[in-house]
Amino acid sequence: MLTAEVFNWTGHVLRFPRTKFREALRRPEAQHTGVYVLIGEQDGSPLAYIGEAENIAERMRGHITNKDWWDSAVCISTTGDLLHKAHVKYLESRLVEIARQIGSMPLENGNTPTRSSLSEAAQANMESFLETLGIVLPAIRVDMFLNKARSAPKTSDVVASPAEPSEERFILQTPKHDLYAEAILRDGEWIVQAGARARSNWEGSTDAKTHYANLHRELVTNGILVMQNGFATFQQDYAFSSPSAAGAIINGRSTNGRKAWKHATTGQRYADWEKDQITAEATS
């Protein structure tokens, strides 16, 4: 089980596997009013469900018997049980809206729930709560509310000047399959550029638990990757957490991105370029 809190934030997040539901639902926070997210797979495809309850544990016990597809859950409440019914109905509605807008995880929810009537001040408080929640959830490996697509800068915003030190360009080529991709390392994100040519299908391990296989499928489902001329082409810039994650999606199989990506200017493998950066930093 994982718990997450932030200094000066009233929220409390609990993530647990289905196998630990007894221990999780005995926790005090699980008795509070809040929202919850069920995450799993159905018929080989990812699936999630977002709900709300005045007592999360009571509602969750029902889902143990009537929903057999989920394998982990996230309970979102507050340390002092400060949320009431209108708050959590608002949060439920907004989380469904955000998840559907991003589209990385299909939802079992039917229609988007109607937002509850809250005062302007209460709505502002809930939006602030959601903003912090958007930081906390990725930290416990829940990315379905995180938009990783990146918009290209407008032509009017582009200035002809040398790249900043924090922005480097890398290239991945797999001649055997005519794959080609460019990525920018910016602020710690590995951003594959629109137009990159990736394998049209996942050719690596088909184990249902293979994260990159699931991610490849999700990117196709969400329209980030579109089939064109025998390739899966990136329709917009997309941020990955590592060069290996990006490389795996491009090649359609597990890839050591530290060796596969090469610096666009020096031709160095990423691992060698990174080593030079560390050396230069130590001697500066």
Reading the block at residue 186, the tokens are 């910016």
Q: How do residues 21-73 score in pLDDT, each as one tens digit?
A: 889 999 999 999 999 999 988 876 788 999 999 999 999 999 988 888 999 99
Tell me how far apart the alpha carbons of residues 136 and 145 are, in angstroms, rounded to a whole number: 11
Whether 77 and 83 have beta carbons less than 8 Å apart is answered as: yes
Q: How do residues 171-195 score in pLDDT, each as one tens digit?
A: 999 999 999 999 998 877 789 999 9
Helix (H) or strand (E) holding 185: strand 179-186
Nearest to 23 by CA among 3, 41, 43: 3
For residue 122, pLDDT beyond 70? yes
For residue 209, pLDDT beyond 50? no
Predicted confidence band of residue 152 (pLDDT cuts 50, 70, 90): very low
Q: Which of 2-6, 253-257, 263-267 has the highest mean pLDDT?
A: 263-267
Could you tell me the CA-to-CA distances from 53 to 37, 79, 93, 176, 216 in Å, in that order? 11, 16, 13, 54, 34
Whether 89 and 52 have beta carbons less than 8 Å apart is answered as: yes
Concatenated DSSP letters of 215-281: HHHHHHHTTSEEEETTEEEESSEEEESSHHHHHHHHHTS---HHHH-EETTT--BHHHHHHHHHHHH
Reading the block at residue 201, the tokens are 């299908």
Mean local confidence (pLDDT), 132-153: 79
Nearest to 171 by CA among 181, 157, 161: 181
Counting every residue written for the chain, the total comes to 284
Tell me how far apart the alpha carbons of residues 273 and 221 are, in angstroms, rounded to a whole number: 34
Whether 258 and 247 have beta carbons less than 8 Å apart is answered as: no
For the chain, the straight-line distance linking the first and the last C-alpha, in angstroms and rounded, comes to 43
Q: 86: helix, coil or strand?
A: helix
**Among residues of the chain, what percentage have pLDDT more than 90?**
49
pTM: 0.61
Higher-confidence residue: 113 or 123?
123
Torsions phi, psi of 11, nearest 5?
-70, 155
